[in-house]
């Protein structure tokens, strides 16, 4: 059974993320084994395997990660190490799943399944892989890269290493297979960088417009989910309520 990894540490899990996780449970828990890397046991994940970060990382790795200033760096270290040890899929926890990811990630033929993010990047927020050597190398780099400059470099790091190994030159624009070992999913598979929806969710200026756009995504045949844009500097009671209501209204959890 293919594994799915999630990561959570630090604060209590926001309620909208709880509902996002429930959409994954509904669509995936009978087809995938869900594992969660946590700083302490969490009630939300009690039916799934929880792995303490303090047990998952060795003493040298823990010493290094305790110095980190960016959560992105720690998250990369955790997901890269897990993918170097397991065949499976990593999902950001703030993904609303519209349908099961089974047919996207469980074909069993490719070593790497990636989702586009920016016009020149594939993202670290959703990745399926059985290429343990690739992620072992990424893990080693992320453990040795200077802390201060890592945040500015990690997208280029991730994409460049994949490019060097698999020989892609313009793979985002291809939106398909150039190498039998790799699948780049169409840009519409998981939606994140739709700034109009994301900004409207933060501002609460036009609920009717958000409803229209989200319903269009939900009813699109080839769209499997919508990932929220996390921003530690912002809190929006409208977004939280909207996401929860959207998930409940459409019986996604």
Domain for residue 232, yes or no?
no
CA-nearest of 109, 101, 59, 61 to 81 is 61
pLDDT for the residue numbered 1: 72
- pLDDT at position 79 is 95
Measured between its terminal Cα atoms, the distance across the chain in Å is 22
Q: What would the mean pLDDT of 92-117 be, rounded to a whole number?
A: 81
- 26 pLDDT above the threshold of 70: yes
Would residue 179 count as lying in a domain?
A: yes
Evaluate whether residue 224 is within a structural domain.
no
Q: What is the CATH number of the domain that holds 151?
A: 3.90.550.20
Number of domains in the chain: 1
pLDDT at residue 107, as a whole number? 58
Which range of 10-19, 46-55, 187-196 scores highest in mean pLDDT? It is 46-55
Domain residues for the domain of 96 are 3-187
Q: What is the pLDDT of residue 45?
A: 97
What is the model's pLDDT at position 61? 95
Domain membership of residue 45 (yes or no) is: yes
139 has a pLDDT exceeding 60: yes
pLDDT at site 235:
64
Residue 210 lies in a domain: no
Please state the rounded mean pLDDT for residues 113-134.
Answer: 82
155 assigned to some structural domain: yes
Taking residues 193-215, what's their average pLDDT? 80
Q: Do 114 and 247 form a contact (C-beta atoms < 8 A)?
A: no
pLDDT for residue 172: 46
Q: Which residue, 48, 41, 42, is CA-closest to 14?
A: 42
Residue 148 located in a structural domain = yes
Does the pLDDT of residue 195 top 60, yes or no? yes
Does residue 145 form part of some domain? yes
């Amino acid at each position: 059974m293919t594994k799915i990894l999630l990561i959570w540490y630090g604060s209590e899990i926001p309620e909208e993320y709880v509902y996002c996780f429930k959409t994954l449970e509904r669509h995936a828990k009978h087809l995938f084994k869900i594992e969660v890397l946590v700083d302490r046991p969490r009630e939300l994940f009690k039916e799934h395997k929880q792995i303490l970060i303090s047990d998952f990382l060795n003493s040298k790795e823990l010493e290094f990660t305790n110095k980190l200033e960016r959560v992105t760096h720690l998250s990369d270290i955790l997901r890269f190490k897990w993918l170097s040890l397991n065949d499976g899929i990593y999902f950001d926890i703030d993904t609303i799943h519209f349908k099961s990811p089974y047919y996207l990630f469980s074909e069993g033929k490719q070593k790497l399944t990636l989702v586009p993010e920016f016009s020149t990047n594939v993202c670290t927020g959703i990745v399926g892989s059985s290429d343990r050597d690739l992620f072992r190398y990424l893990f080693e780099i992320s453990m040795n890269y200077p802390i201060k400059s890592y945040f500015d470099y990690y997208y280029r790091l991730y994409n460049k290493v994949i490019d060097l190994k698999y020989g892609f030159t313009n793979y985002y624009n291809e939106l398909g297979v150039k190498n039998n070992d790799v699948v780049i999913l169409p840009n519409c598979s998981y939606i994140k960088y739709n700034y109009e929806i994301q900004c409207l969710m933060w501002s609460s200026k036009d609920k009717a417009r958000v409803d229209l756009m989200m319903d269009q995504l939900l009813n699109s045949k080839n769209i499997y989910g919508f990932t929220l844009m996390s921003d530690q500097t912002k809190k929006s009671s409208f977004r939280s309520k909207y996401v929860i209501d959207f998930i409940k209204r459409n019986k996604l959890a």
